[in-house]
């Protein structure tokens, strides 16, 4: 980890800023609070995992799950990042993982000041292949529960054949930052009288009514955690 400020008065509930986690643009929007970072990660479904393969950058969208201060990403044993993490067992595979939520569309009077309200997290560090069977099972449960809380206990766990076909990599939350944009329009004073609507269009997410599989076993009821919200 590089670039950690010399002050040792950092609260225990924050991540230390580094050269890679302090943004060059709008640094005032950066945050290092662990509770905030965890909340942004826990609300997302898909992360983007970046790494270098054969000298070229690769970024893949994938599911993830958090257990404490660790993130887990899974995939086929034949996938490129998971194979690379296995080959780099000693030092890990250097990766960058990102998660972003778009909370609102900011429509300004001028085209230049259009923006979005967002919350994002960026994680840097080495990713390691998870080889311990119990840790792999916990990681896969976390991945399922991350998408739908409570689902892991309400489904058949992976059998040995499925575990053998599934690879999991682990990324510790050490070098981490969040970045946020909130609030309204930042138009220039001379543009305030223009006859163009300006404001924020909030975005939200939620469940629609679930569509049952036509081959459900007789008497199978919709679980409470899938109620529309």
Q: pLDDT of 137-179, one tens digit each?
A: 999 999 999 999 999 999 999 888 888 888 899 999 999 999 9
The answer to whether residue 181 is domain-embedded is yes
Separation of alpha carbons 62 and 51, rounded Å: 13
Residue 110 inside a domain? The answer is yes
With respect to residue 138, please indicate whether it lies within any of the assigned structural domains: yes
Beta bridge mates, 116: 105
Q: Is residue 176 part of a domain?
A: yes
Q: Is there a domain that residue 153 lies in? A: yes
Asked if residue 11 belongs to a domain, the reply is no
Evaluate whether 178 touches 121 at the Cβ level (below 8 Å). yes
State the average pLDDT for the chain: 88
Q: What is the pLDDT of residue 89?
A: 63
Average pLDDT over residues 60-71: 95
* Structure confidence at residue 83 (pLDDT): 65
Q: What is the pLDDT of residue 66?
A: 96
Q: What is the structure's pLDDT at 164?
A: 86
Task: Count CA atoms within 13 Å of residue 132 on its CB side.
Answer: 6
User: Residue for token digits 């993130």?
Assistant: 71
CATH number at residue 153: 2.30.110.10
The mean-pLDDT minimum among 4-8, 20-24, 87-91, 113-117 falls in 4-8
6 has pLDDT over 90: no
Domain count across the chain:
1
Residue 222 resides in a domain? no
How much of the chain is helix, strand and coil, in % rounded to 5?
25, 35, 40
Residue 49 binned pLDDT confidence (cut-offs 50, 70, 90): very high
User: What is d(CA 86, CA 93) in angstroms, rounded to the nearest whole number?
Assistant: 8
Quick check: is 13 in a domain?
no
Is the pLDDT score of 80 beyond 80? no
Sign of the dihedral through C-alpha 118, 123, 129, 134: negative
Domain containing residue 40: 27-185
């Amino acid at each position: 980890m590089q670039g950690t400020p010399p002050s040792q008065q950092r609260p225990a509930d924050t991540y230390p800023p580094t050269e890679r986690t302090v943004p060059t643009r709008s640094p005032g929007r950066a945050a290092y609070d662990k509770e905030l970072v965890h909340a942004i990660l826990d609300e997302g479904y898909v992360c983007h995992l970046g790494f270098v393969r054969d000298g070229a950058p690769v970024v893949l969208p994938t599911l993830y799950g958090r257990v404490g201060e660790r993130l887990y990403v899974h995939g086929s044993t034949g996938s490129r990042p998971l194979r690379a993490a296995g080959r780099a067992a000693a030092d890990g595979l250097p990766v960058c993982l990102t998660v972003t939520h778009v909370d609102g569309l900011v429509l300004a009077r001028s085209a230049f000041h259009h923006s979005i309200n967002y919350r994002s997290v960026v994680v840097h560090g080495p990713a390691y292949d998870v080889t311990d069977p119990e840790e792999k099972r916990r990681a896969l449960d976390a991945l399922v529960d991350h998408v739908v809380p409570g689902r892991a206990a309400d489904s058949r766990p992976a059998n040995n054949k499925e575990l053998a076909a599934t690879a999991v990599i682990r990324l510790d939350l050490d070098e981490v930052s969040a970045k946020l944009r909130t609030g309204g329009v930042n138009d220039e004073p001379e543009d305030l009288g223009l006859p163009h609507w300006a404001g924020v269009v909030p975005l939200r997410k939620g469940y629609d009514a679930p569509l049952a599989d036509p081959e459900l076993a007789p008497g199978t009821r919709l679980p409470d955690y899938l109620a529309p919200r």
